[in-house]
Amino acid sequence: MKLSKRLQLILDQIPQGSRLADIGSDHALLPVAAVECGVAVQAIAGEVNQGPFEAAAKQVKESGMEDCIQVRRGDGLEVLSAGEADVITIAGMGGSLIAAILDRGIGKLEGVRRLVLQPNVGEDILRKWLLAHEWVLIDEFILEEDGKIYEVLVAEPERPGGPVTNEEIYSQRAIAGKVSLSAEWLLRMGPWLIRDAGTVFHDKWKSEIGKMNQILKSLSRSDLDTAKGKAAEIRADIEFIEEVLACLPKDKP
């Protein structure tokens, strides 16, 4: 099955032999591809809405994989039983919604060894949720497809002897010996993305600066002290982001 760049990148983060649960599976493209290529030995496609649920069921039936892929209708992780999946993927939603899904179904995360998450917005919200619930961001990726920029976050439960700890990845660090990044900024911009920044990362944050400048224009029409204070915060953020970008390479793909 031919996947989009975004879904292929998510598939590439699923360990071999996984029992996969894809939440918000839409047409079940990811579970079918994962089983088809042998990455997943079995999969669950969860979908809350009737139309996508029916589309997923049709896709699985046409693929001939009904014996190893179950399509279930339900809200978030309620389609799972604890211990039923060891890898969960959630893609194509806002970071706050993904965090809420994980929060509501936190009991279903028992036995899960990896989360692969692709928020459309609010990546920092999701990083904060993972940190607060002792999940370690072991890797993250950024890509552009069809004019949109996506980030993929890969997390595992924090454990002794793990590849990295939250303390390590969110410890304050300096870039090019010039700009010091606090944990707050690492959560906001991505601790792994900053280490391997390239063209897409720069494009994303230039776009964010553009949005912030639009907010500044709106705030400039207000005489309220709160608006002036907010504008000062935004200007400081823009200046800091520009300093960070100036210290990072931008010729990587």
Encoded tokens for 86: 């060891």
What distance in Å separates the CA atoms of residue 68 and residue 39, rounded to the nearest whole number? 12
Residue 162: the pLDDT is: 82
Query: Is residue 71 packed enough to be buried (19+ CB in 10 Å), middle (13-18) or exposed (0-12)?
Result: buried
pLDDT over threshold 90, residue 2: no
Mean pLDDT of 143-153: 97
Give the mean model confidence (pLDDT) for residues 212-229.
91
What's the pLDDT score for residue 133?
Answer: 97
Give the pairing type, strands 114-119 and 40-47. Answer: unpaired
Task: Give 63-108 pLDDT, tens digit per residue.
Answer: 999 999 999 999 999 999 999 999 999 999 999 999 999 999 999 9
Let me know: does 169 contact 191? Beta carbons within 8 Å: yes
Written in H, E and C, the secondary structure of 169-199 is HCCCEEECCCEEECHHHHHHHCHHHHHCCCH
**Dist CA 241 CA 250 (whole Å):** 14
Q: Examine the pLDDT at 250 and tell me if it is beyond 80.
A: no
Q: Which CATH superfamily is domain 5-164 in?
A: Vaccinia Virus protein VP39 (3.40.50.150)
Question: Tokens 């029409």 belong to which residue?
Answer: 221
pTM recorded for the entire structure: 0.94
Percent of the chain predicted with pLDDT > 90 = 88
Tell me what pLDDT residue 96 has: 97
Q: DSSP code of 148?
A: E
Which helix or strand (DSSP H or E) is residue 143 part of? strand 135-145
Query: What CATH class does 173-247 carry?
Result: mainly alpha
Q: Is the pLDDT of residue 223 over 90?
A: no
E strand segments, 68-131:
69-73, 87-93, 114-119
Q: Among 40-54, 137-151, 169-183, which stretch is predicted with the lowest mean pLDDT?
A: 169-183
Banded model confidence at residue 253, pLDDT cuts 50, 70, 90? low
Q: Do domains 5-164 and 173-247 have the same CATH topology?
A: no
Average pLDDT over residues 33-57: 96
The C-alpha atoms of residue 152 and residue 139 are separated, in whole angstroms, by 8
Lowest mean pLDDT among 9-13, 40-44, 158-162: 158-162
Average pLDDT over residues 125-146: 97
Q: Measured between alpha carbons, how far is 197 from 142 in angstroms, rounded to an integer?
A: 9
Q: Taking the CB of residue 211, how many other CB atoms lie within 10 A of it? A: 10
Please tell me the predicted confidence (pLDDT) of residue 58.
95
Beta strand 114-119 pairing with 135-145: unpaired
Give the pLDDT confidence score for residue 239 in this predicted structure. 97
> For residue 51, how far is the Cα from the chain centroid?
25
In the chain, where the domains are located: 5-164, 173-247
